[in-house]
Structure 1
Amino acid sequence: MMLKTAIFAAWAVMLILVNKFVLANDWAEYAFTFVSAVIMEFLMSKAGRTKQHQQ
């Protein structure tokens, strides 16, 4: 659970920084947010499977 929380926190900070400083307020921002959500879901499922294998 700590790994998922750490991944989520780091990803949220990165998203905020990228959206604030890099992207303009147009379609690229929405595309980036969608892609990052997909990657986040992948990382969460990977972290969940890793923990299950360790038990």
Structure 2
Amino acid sequence: MEKFPMGTVFHYRLGSNIIFATHRRGNIVHGQLTGRVFAEPYLEFAYQHTNTDKE
């Protein structure tokens, strides 16, 4: 049986209507996701990361 590596894992936190998360995997050294509950059931997010090329 062929084994597949685990996908990207985000560590989420929720405070009031604010959602934020961090992750890293592969060439992503540090990634951040932040957002809010815009109007149920809609979410609005911004994402940024730094990779091994420092981009």
**TM-score (norm. length: structure 1):** 0.24
Taking CA–CA contacts closer than 8 Å with sequence separation of 6 or more, which of the two structures ends up with the larger relative contact order? 1
Report the structure, 1 or 2, having the larger strand content: 2
**TM-score (norm. length: structure 2):** 0.24
The structure whose Rg is larger is 2
